[in-house]
């Protein structure tokens, strides 16, 4: 004996099938190379940069309000040969940055003095943290919290890395306007 379904059951089954097909099609729209989960995300405050097999992660300056601070980063050598970090220097601020027509010009990155820089070996497959665990930290003078500075890291073998680096307070927080600051600086 053949089984027959009432027309309402056929319509419900068809609607359920269409809903499943539509949900699969919509889910597939977000699963391509432009999907949000495929885009890089940097949860740290600092700057990331790469030059060949050298990767610099979370590069930042921690400074007090008078502009004296230390350089912090992790420098990783993913190559097969050792390299050497030979220098860190501040790039001079090159005029005012370009802005859109009618926009207020942005402040150029601050020029700072970098001290206690000395050659440091970057072993193959290893990382180096700044400040180093032994010895004096690389000092940065002239960058106040809330500013951006442009630093160039030079290596014996890898090409130099130039990056815009944020200056944060010594407690790792971005500065907030003080209560005694003018009202227009509060944003």
DSSP per-residue letters across 34-59? TSGGGS----SSSEEEEETTEEEEEE
Element (H, E) at 29: helix 7-29
Residue 187 belongs to a domain: no
Q: Are 134 and 163 within one domain?
A: yes
85 and 166 share one domain? yes
pLDDT in tens, 8-52: 877 888 888 888 887 777 666 666 666 666 666 666 788 999 999
* 101 belongs to a structural domain: no
Task: Give the CATH number of the domain where residue 146 resides.
Answer: 2.60.40.1890
Neighbour tally for 67: CB within 10 Å: 18
Residues 142, 53, single domain; the answer is: yes
Q: Does 80 lie in the same domain as 23?
A: no
Residues facing 74 on adjacent strands:
57, 129
Q: Is residue 102 part of a domain?
A: no
Q: Comparing C-alpha atoms, which of 133, 151, 146, 147 is closest to residue 177?
A: 146
Give 100's contacts (C-beta < 8 A, 6+ positions apart). Answer: none
* Domain presence at residue 152: yes
My answer on whether 72 and 143 are in the same domain is yes
Are residues 30 and 53 both part of a single domain? Answer: no
Same domain? For 137 and 67 the reply is yes
Model confidence, pTM: 0.65
Point out the least confidently predicted range of 12-16, 69-73, 87-91, 153-157. 12-16
Q: Which domain holds residue 142?
A: 47-93+109-176
Q: Are residues 68 and 135 in the same domain?
A: yes
Number of domains the chain contains: 2
- Judge if 34 and 113 occupy the same domain: no
pLDDT one-digit tens code per residue, 127-178: 999 998 888 999 999 988 988 999 999 999 999 999 999 999 887 665 555 5
Flag whether pLDDT at 96 surpasses 50: no
């Amino acid at each position: 004996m053949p089984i027959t379904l009432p027309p309402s059951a056929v319509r419900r089954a068809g609607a359920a099938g269409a809903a499943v097909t539509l949900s699969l099609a919509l889910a597939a729209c977000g699963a391509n190379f432009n999907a949000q989960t495929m885009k890089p995300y940097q949860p740290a405050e600092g700057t990331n940069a790469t030059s060949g097999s050298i990767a610099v992660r979370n590069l930042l300056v921690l400074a007090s309000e008078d502009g004296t601070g230390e350089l912090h980063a992790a420098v990783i050598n993913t190559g097969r040969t050792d390299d050497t970090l030979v220098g860190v220097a501040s790039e001079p601020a090159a005029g005012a940055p370009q802005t859109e027509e009618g926009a207020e010009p942005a402040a150029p990155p601050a020029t700072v003095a970098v001290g206690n820089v000395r050659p440091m070996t970057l072993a193959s497959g290893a990382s180096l943290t700044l400040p180093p665990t032994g010895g004096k930290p690389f000092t940065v003078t002239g960058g106040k919290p809330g500013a951006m500075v442009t630093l160039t890291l030079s290596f014996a073998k890898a090409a130099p890395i130039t990056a815009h680096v944020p200056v944060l307070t010594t407690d790792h927080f971005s500065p907030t306007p003080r209560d005694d600051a003018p009202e227009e600086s509060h944003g």
